[in-house]
Structure 1
Amino acid sequence: MTSPPDERLRVMPWWLVLVGLLLAVALGWWVLDSLLGEADRATQPDTRATLRVDAIRTGLTVVAGTGGGLALLLAARRQWISERAQRHQEAVAAQDQTHRERVQAHAEAVADAAQRHQERQAEAAEHDAAERRLTELYTRAVELLGSDNAAVRLGGLHALERLGQDNPGQRPTIVAVLCAYLRMPPADDPRETEVRRTAQRVLTRHLRADGDQFWPGVSLDLTGARLDGFDATGCTLVDADLTGAVCTGATRLTGATLRGRLSLGATFEELFLDGATGDAEIVLDGADVERASFDRADLGGVLSGRGATFGRATFRGTTFRETATFDTARFTDSATFREADFRAGLSMEHAVFGGYAGFRQARFADLAMFRFTEFGGEAWFEQARFENKGSFGRARFHGRARFGGATFARRPGVDQARASTAHAHVWPDGWHASPVDDDWLLLTEP
């Protein structure tokens, strides 16, 4: 709390002291005169003399007392002035201390601001130098990657990899450069295959979440790329796009963790997703796969294979947690879905199975659509469980069909479905097959 400022100190004038003394003398004189007047009225001379002496003593006492009072007032005033002077000195000292502290604080603030400014300038200079160095390294590595010499291109790949390993902020750019390189037409050089395989290994090496070399948060844009033996076993793939790619050899995503969207509308000699997991949406629309294997995969997202062409395909023990769609797909060789678990809907409308179609012990927890499906070879649904409606309307069974032990929670739909008369079939209980002509049987449900 701030003390109120002292009033301005005024000096007592000399005449005020003189007036006080005169008043004291006048008061003493008046008292003496009054008392002497009273003493003169006494009749006895002795009494009168005594009274006059007392009057003189009293007058002098009044004068002395008045003077003493004035002296006390002057002493009190000196004390008061001294205290005010002390308070003033203390206030001045406090203000002076506060001022010095403010000056010190300001000086420290200025010094601190100057230090921070210097540090920012040093950091900015260091950052600029580092950025220039990164730019130079990046530019040099890209130049090496564009060399006509395969060995120099390999050096450029390793330079980019080292740059990305040491600088996490550059990783998305470096991955984009490597993907762009794989999207380019191969150079006319017999050693180009090794260079491209090295680029693939650089990508996949940093997509495995098993150590310091993992580069999280990067995606692969390999649309239209030419890949040879692409091995992403155990990798974590987020938003990988291989649409239109041509993949020779075995493309392995075995045990991979799939996130986001995985676009596989490409051409594959062999595609392996055995044991793959994750919630990615897998798009195989229009893909051409000579051999596909999804055995024991646990697919948490939607799978779409509309219009895809598969040679030999196996989905043994695969778990489909969301809808799986293979409408208009073609399976030119055997297709195995044994023990597959379709926990959401399955749609294979207008699909064509050129060879064996195996759904033994498969579980269909939701709607299973096989309308207009062509089974060119054997179709085995033994011990399959249809926990919702299964529809085989207008399906065609050219080979032997076996539904032994299959169970249906709801009456299946087999409207206008037909089966070849050339084979012995095993139908579910209640299904009826009546000849239409020499080649076909018409299926009806109860």
Structure 2
Amino acid sequence: MPVGGMLWSVTAPRDEPLRVMPWWLVLIGLLLAGALGWWVLDWLLGEADRAAQPDTRATLRIDAIRTGLTVVAGTGGGLALLLAARRQWISERAQRHQEAVAAHDQAHRERVQAHTEAVAEAGQRHQERQATAAEHDAAERRLTELYTRAVELLGNDNAAVRLGGLHALERLGQDNPAQRTTIGAVLCAYLRMTPPEDDARESEVRRTAQRVLTRHLRADGDQWWPEVTLDLTGARLDGFDAGGCTLVDADLTGAVCTGVTRLTGATVRGTLSLRATFDELLLDGLAGDGEVVLDGARTAHTSLDGADLGGAVSCRGATFGRLTGRGATFHQSVAFDAARVEDSATFRAATFLGGLSMEHVVFAGYAGFRQARFVDLALFRFTEFGDMAKFEQARFEGAASFGRARFGGPVRFEGATFRRTPLVDQARATTSAPHTWPDGVRPARLDDDWLLLTDP
């Protein structure tokens, strides 16, 4: 019998079968008792007949008869005692059998009761699972309906309705954490869509979508959605403000960002791709261990003041109007190879703990590295300085190379320290401005316009 997933074996108590004494066995016992009595009587009478005196013989015969009867009576008593003992044994065995049957019946009732309770419990659990599944299905249907309705609102032709759709999606994500990734992806997809030209209402809707996204990327309260990543490739953003946000694998590749794009105080995880076009890009106080990529970016003004970046920074082939990195700390390698700075670049008191590569960089205006610290390799080979280049009080703790660089304005190395003699082989400097060179650098006049620098 299966009970609660287990198989119970119902087995009756095993007793030897009770045998009834046949009548002939009792008859044989009586005959044996009589035969024994007869034999004893016959033997005693035979002994009595041997007596010589008649009186003695008569007495002995009487005693023999009395003894024979006594033997018969004793044998019969023994048989009666045996039968009484057998009746007592049968009675005790019957009592034990009844007790065993009663115990068996009680155990059977208990097993039946346990089985009934197990079946009832299993049925209750099944009903609870069905109720939970029905509740979950109802919640999922309701959630799907709300999500579908919100997306439909977002696709409405009326800007006010679209705003309502944005707030409906935000409310849905706030109440349902499992939907946040999907909702974040929908908002990013909306921003990636090409907006109509000169539509102020649509611009407001898109700015609202930007605020909804960034509002939930700040790890400062219950509104943080850590599951959301930004995929804004090719998006058109206006005044995008992600200041203080935690950006995990955020991608703005190919985006066009008008106004001021703020990532001040943001934390970078993974890769932050800013290979986009910016009117103004503020990265002041940017921190984190993620990689920052601005390869090929175009921006009128970029500020990295006070940034503390633990990952690599790559700005290869980027075009900057004005570039600043005052007091910034770069823990890994920084590469500006083939970049162009149209206005000015200032990295005063910046710290480069990893290597710095500015090969083939064009500084059209001022380039300042005053009080900067270069812990590892600093490469300025083939770099063009169109105006003043300042390295005053800079510290070069690793190798430094200015080979084949071109200085089109004054060069200042006052107070700069070098652990190793810098390499300046084939670098050129204009003859029209005064210069201050590191110790050991020997400028020689190449022609009327240029000086040629050689290593010691």
TM-score in terms of structure 1 length: 0.92
What is aligned with 2:194? 185
Whichever residue aligns with residue 360 of structure 1, its letter is R
Q: Aligned pair 1:170/2:176, yes or no? A: no
Counterpart secondary structure, 1:191: helix
Task: Report the AA paired with residue 117 of structure 1.
Answer: H
Aligned sequence identity (%): 79
Cα displacement (A) at 1:306: 0.8
Of 110, 118, 126, 1:101 maps to 110
1:147 aligns to 2:153 (yes or no): no
The 5-angstrom pairing of residues 338-353 of structure 1 reads 338-353=348-363
Listed as ranges, the matches of 1:72-111 within 5 Å are: 72-111=81-120
What does residue 160 of structure 1 align with?
A: 169
User: Quick one: distance in 1 between partners of 2:195 and 2:35?
Assistant: 132
SS in 1 for 2:436: coil
Quote the Cα distance in structure 1 between the aligned partners of 2:77 and 2:453: 141
Match of 2:275 in 1: 265
1:233 and 2:253 matched: no
1:67 equivalent in alignment to 2:76 = yes
The aligned residue for residue 311 of structure 1 is 321
Tell me by how many angstroms 1:49 deviates.
Answer: 5.8
Whole-angstrom CA distance in 1 between matches of 2:53 and 2:448: 184
**CA separation of 1:49 and 1:282: change in aligned 2, threshold 3 A:** farther
Match of 1:137?
146
Secondary structure (helix, strand or coil) at the match of 1:334 reads strand
Cα distance in 1 for partners of 2:71, 2:423 equals 138
* CA separation of 1:107 and 1:416: change in aligned 2, threshold 3 A: same
Looking at structure 1, the residues matched to 401 and 54 of structure 2 have their Cα atoms a distance apart, in angstroms, of 159
* Aligned equivalents of 2:45, 2:323: Cα separation in 1: 149
Judging changes above 3 Å, is the alpha-carbon distance between structure 1 residues 62 and 327 closer, same or farther for their aligned structure 2 residues?
farther
Shift of 1:70: 2.9
Displacement of 1:95: 2.8
Aligned residue pairs total: 446
Partner Cα separation in structure 2 for residue 212 and residue 226 of structure 1: 29
Partner SS for 1:438: coil
Amino acid at match of 1:318: A
Is 1:116 matched with 2:140? no
Larger mean Cα displacement after TM superposition, 297-306 or 380-389: 380-389
Is contact 1:295-1:318 (8 Å) kept? yes
Q: Between 281-290 and 8-17, report the one with greater CA deviation.
A: 8-17
Shift of 1:47: 6.0
Q: Which residue of 2 aligns with 1:337?
A: 347
Query: Which range moves more in the overlay, 41-50 or 325-334?
Result: 41-50
Partner in structure 1 of residue 135 of structure 2: 126
**Which amino acid is the alignment partner of residue 258 of structure 2?**
T
For the residues of structure 2 that align with 1:16 and 1:392, how far apart are their CA atoms?
A: 133
Shift of 1:52: 5.0
Match among 392, 395, 411 for residue 385 of structure 1: 395
Unmatched segments (≥5 aa) in structure 1? none
Residue 452 of structure 2: aligned partner: 442
* Counterpart code for 1:80: W
Contact 1:6 1:84 in 2 (8 A): no
Deviations 1:41-65 (Å, cap 9, x if unpaired)? Answer: 4556676566556545554444444
Q: Secondary structure of 1:332's match?
A: strand
Within the alignment, does 1:212 sit opposite 2:227 as a pair? Answer: no
2:290 to 267, 280, 284: 280
Q: Are 2:395 and 2:417, in contact at CA under 8 Å, matched by a contact in 1? A: yes
CA RMSD of aligned residues (A): 2.3
Deviates more, 1:419-428 or 1:83-92: 83-92
Shift of 1:363: 2.2
- C-alpha distance 326-61 of structure 1, shift in aligned 2 (>3 A): farther
Q: CA 1:39–1:413 in 2, change beyond 3 Å: closer, same or farther?
A: farther
Deviates more, 1:242-251 or 1:11-20: 11-20
CA distance in 1 between counterparts of 2:374 and 2:57 reads: 147
- Please state if 1:244 is matched with 2:254: yes
| C-alpha contact (below 8 Å) 2:250/2:273 kept by paired residues | yes
CA contact (8 A) 2:421 2:440 kept: no
Q: 1:417 to 1:41 in 2, by over 3 A?
A: farther
Task: Note the residue ranges of structure 2 that are not aligned, 5 or more in a row.
Answer: 1-8
Q: Distance in 2 between matches of 1:429 and 1:344?
A: 25
Aligned partner of 2:233 in structure 1 is 223
> SS at the partner of 2:250?
strand
Q: Which stretch of structure 1 is more off in the superposition, 3-12 or 364-373?
A: 3-12
After TM superposition, the structure 1 stretch with the greater mean CA deviation from structure 2, 411-420 or 301-310, is 411-420
1:189-215 Cα shifts (integer Å, max 9, x gaps): 322221111111111111111111111
Name the CA shift for 1:36/1:396 in 2 (closer, same or farther; >3 Å): farther
SS state at 2:257 partner? strand
2:42 is aligned, of 33, 37, 42, to: 33
